[in-house]
Structure 1
Amino acid sequence: MKLPKNKKGLCLVLGIIITVLFSGCPPKAKKPFEPKKVGKEPTITLYINETGERKRIPIEEYIQGVVAAEMDTSWPVNALAAQAILARTFTMKQIKTKGGVPQHKADASTSVEEFQAYDASKINDNVRKAVAMTRGEVIRYKGEYINAWFSACDGGESASAAEGLAYHKEKTPYIKAGVKDGCMNITVPENKSWTIRFPLASVRGAVKEVTGKDPGPLNSSNVKIIKWGPSGRAESLRIGNTVVSGPALRLALGNDKMRSIFLNKFTVEGNNLVVSGKGYGHGVGMCQWGARKFAEQGKSPEDIIRFYFRDITIDKMWK
């Protein structure tokens, strides 16, 4: 083939040759999701509920105070580090989806009711190390921050968001339900078995608070569990003439009193509702006692997270 002398002609011929050579090549595969480039650590506005002050603080410094408040600071560093990843994820999701705590014109709050637990006075070297080793790490599912749920003790088996929290707002396919972590082998006695008695008047008031309806007089024949969840939790309860979800009743009665809905007894005795069960918390997402167990076995913070969550990425968002 004779090539033309001018540059334009040469380029045209070369273009034809390239087209012929590569026209039969298959199209390039679509690139998988790639996390955003590592950026700069954010500084957030923290509302101090105790004083009403708004304080500008680097987010990693803030996460130290959250981890110190949420988990025993003497626990293994890798368990604390897994907690740090969850705390950082929760913070970023709340800021992105809700604007933090707009009622205080802040990104975060020191109130556990408004945002998440925070106690800077408990920060120690363990916490500092745990936060530093996971610096910038967050959990995402298909590029979006997950609901970074955790509980103190899942009773040995985790729950779905629907079962443990009666959460139906959005699908949460990244939650591993039904995983068994062996946490009951190392947790404290009060998580292995607990019993509490609630005066029937308190139960009646709690149901009215949840449903807006008075359930009427309560007795042993009209108070019972009517639906068990896949993991064995009390998902739905009949209280008098009213049906209420287990998670909703637990919150109304006090989640520090009715420690979980992993129940083995739910009955009226005299003027009290007697409730017995195991575990502490809703059981969705990471179990803190399970995290401690895995950390003691040498598991990394990321491995601990992946045990409780599926199909997720752990992305480093800043250096």
Structure 2
Amino acid sequence: MAVPLASRAGVHRLVSAAIAAPSLHNSQPWWFRSRGGELELHLDPDRAVPVIDPRGRAMHIACGAALFNLRLAVRTAGHRPIVRTFPGSGHTLLAIVGGEPWTEPSARQRELYAAITERRTNRNPYDRIHLPARVLNELEEAAQREGAVLRILEQPATSRLLDLIAAADNELAENPAYRQELARWTTGRARTEGIPSYAFGPRSAGRGLPMRDFGLGGFGDGGREVGGFEERPTLGALIVDGDGPAEWLRAGQALQRVLLTATRHGVATSFLTQPLDVQEMRDPGGGHWPGRSVQMIIRFGYGPPAPASPRRPIREVLVA
């Protein structure tokens, strides 16, 4: 196969895969430089969401998800990805990705790569159908392969976490700075960033799952449907050892492998990060995982199709 970084088309293929990763409010906090047969992944501080992400944790997780997609794109080109990471260096550079000829990719690697463009953040109500044990086991294994733990919560822990999510959601909704920040990322102008109104999902009927209401930003709330979200959702806590830039980058790679694995099985996913957005609630595990840090709360289920959110064109994120 062609060397993935030896041509303009090869570089564009890698960057196209990377920018399909999820990010907080679809802020897309990354840019890339192609240089010397390698591809640099940089953090873009101008795309920060400082009210709910003052330390840049979510930005690093998003870039970690993009990095996983880069690795997968290199691997499916018949090369072994060679990655050097620089989190916490004080510079915007987070990773340099290269590759060397290797064996043909496995069927599963090809399936995960194909899932990159199919993955969505699905904010609709999900069906009351439990995920099969084999699927849950595979999701947990996906996180483990990236040095993280995905803990699928039992009902008592889920109930406690839902209470925390609801409390955090109420606190955020009453914060004018939060609403102003939300408005920045949900405006109705033609844009290639942020959450468009068609991807908000329905407003909650006040029962069940306390989903984040992007309509609080003041755009697109009129005429939205009201939905009854599940009262007993399937939730997973993504956990790593430590809580710094290196751990955030690792968590992002684990998150993306989990999301692509879910997509491969037809499982919808969305995020319930409100407790992680409120500093005093940063341990939604309730102390159950001492020495470890919850980096993402993921909702799993089966739901209706969801639209894709926009992405910035490659010319805006790639420096040759």
TM-score of the superposed pair, with normalisation by structure 2 = 0.26
Q: TM-score, normalised by structure 1?
A: 0.26
Q: Which has the higher contact order (CA 8 A, sep 6+)?
A: 2
